[in-house]
Structure 1
Amino acid sequence: MLHYIQALLQQMDLSSALDAALRVVSVMLCLTIHETCHGLAALSLGDSTAKSMHRLSLNPLRHIDWLGLLMMFTMGFGWAKPVPVDPRYFKNPKKGMALTALAGPVSNFMLAFSLILLSKGIYLYADYTLVWDVIFNFLLSTAILSIGLGLFNLLPIPPLDGSKVLGALLPDRAYFTLMRYERYGMLLLLLLSFANVGGGLISRAIAAVYTAMINLLY
């Protein structure tokens, strides 16, 4: 009986460790794709700053902010190292910033779509094994995380990507006022997170987008 209990505890520990490791992989994948696509978008619009600083990389260590990663696990949201962008290289700085910012969330939705498509392939063609079951659930949970990251970044609160998109629609005076208060945006996000303001709305939005993708692909 004692041996059985010890084996069960070891299995639980291994399961918890595996879940934690896969969670880290999911977060790093979503953040790396997000930040790399910011840099690629900027490069396509004429700004090679991210390229010159080696930020067009799928190496997560080039993008991960360790405090932001810790916050994602403890507070439910976090951040990566911002990709450096110099709007002076854009023909239309406001439009260029908006498109560069939008590339991040769009890449997260595309990643989620691709992961769900891969999960369908496993569902249809792979024999059931424990390994395939872990991979299947990893793909779907990462898709949900990626959708959440994309939607969260579309909020029009500086320094999130949505504020850059909103800025392209504002008059110059209002745009520069919005950017002036960018450094206070993270404090606002922390306060909103502590107060759990908007969490339910974002959760419902994630569920709606995820369900729509599942219905489309399955």
Structure 2
Amino acid sequence: MEFLNQLLRYPIEQLPFYLTTLVIAFTVHEFSHAYFANKFGDPTAKMLGRVTLNPTVHFDLLGIILLLIAGFGWARPVPVNRANFSKPRLMGVIVSVAGPLSNLVLGVLGTLIYVMLVQFGVIDAITNDKLLEAIKMFFGLFTLMNFFLFLFNLIPLPPLDGYRILEDLLPRSMLGSFKKFEQWSMFIFLLLIVVPPLQRYTITPLYQAARSMYLSFARFFLVLFGA
């Protein structure tokens, strides 16, 4: 047990909540890409069985292992052929932004459900301390991680969605120079998320912003319910 605690990035008692959160967040994220790509006329993801909420088709084993050990990882990217879109750049932006937006929606829904549990007395009615702690931990991680993934995936560096969005929005005259930068931007991305001193300027602010988003939505829903 001690070995696992040293090996894993997260406390072992929190591991089930992290895994559940990531299964939902990654699955809905990749499904959203696949769904809109198929809707806009690109059947690539559908032919590969990716237009589904079955998590097994979206997960990458190495990506999950690294996530648990190193704190960063990935799901299997959804292949998209923009040449099949009637409006490649516009529809490409929508397909790319669909993933991060799905995490935003999950974060908002998680916040709403937890506020409702508090507001309608469900939380106060729970007498089992372990169950109460589990519910609080799950919703805390679920909302924070989804808001974080929303922000993180909008970073305009490959292989993140923000890069693809920027790629489709830039004028064609700038794409040549932009593509030349791509080989270096991947290296910059890895440095930013792996090197601890640099994380203070990248990952840490994103977590702080994610927490602020949670608090803002929580306050909004509390006001909405008249609290």
User: TM-score interval w.r.t. the shorter chain?
Assistant: 0.7 to 0.9
In 2: Cα distance, 1:50 partner to 1:106 partner? 19
1:99-148 CA-to-partner distances (Å, cap 9, x unmatched) read 10100010000001111111123222322233244123202211100111
Secondary structure of 2:112's counterpart equals helix
Which residue pairs with 2:79 in the alignment?
Answer: 84
Secondary structure of 1:79's counterpart equals coil
Q: 1:35 to 1:187 in 2, by over 3 A?
A: same
TM-score, normalising length: structure 1: 0.84
What is the total number of aligned residue pairs between the two structures?
Answer: 205
Secondary structure of 1:26's counterpart equals helix
2:121 to 115, 122, 125: 125
In 2: Cα distance, 1:167 partner to 1:78 partner? 23
1:141-163 CA-to-partner distances (Å, cap 9, x unmatched) read 11100111110000111221111
Say if 2:191 is the partner of 1:207. no
Q: 1:157 to 1:180 in 2, by over 3 A?
A: same
Say if 2:99 is the partner of 1:104. yes
Q: 1:209 to 1:179 in 2, by over 3 A?
A: farther
How far residue 18 of structure 1 moved from its aligned partner, in angstroms, is 4.3
Q: Which moved more, 1:182-191 or 1:104-113?
A: 182-191
In 1: Cα distance, 2:148 partner to 2:212 partner? 11
Secondary structure of 1:68's counterpart equals helix
Which residue pairs with 2:37 in the alignment?
Answer: 42
Q: Percent identity?
A: 29
Which residue pairs with 1:13 in the alignment?
Answer: none
1:45-92 CA-to-partner distances (Å, cap 9, x unmatched) read 111211111111222221111222233233333211100111011112
| Structure 1 unpaired stretches of 5+ | 1-8, 10-15
Which residue pairs with 2:6 in the alignment?
Answer: none
Say if 2:201 is the partner of 1:189. no
The answer to whether the 8 Å contact 1:36/1:57 transfers is yes
- Residue correspondence of structure 1 range 169-188 to structure 2 within 5 A: 169-175=169-175, 177-179=177-179, 182=182, 185-188=185-188
How far residue 39 of structure 1 moved from its aligned partner, in angstroms, is 0.7
Structure 1 vs Structure 2 CA RMSD: 2.3
Q: Which moved more, 1:84-93 or 1:135-144?
A: 135-144
How far residue 183 of structure 1 moved from its aligned partner, in angstroms, is 5.5
Secondary structure of 1:155's counterpart equals coil
1:1-53 CA-to-partner distances (Å, cap 9, x unmatched) read xxxxxxxx9xxxxxx65421221111111111111111111122111211111
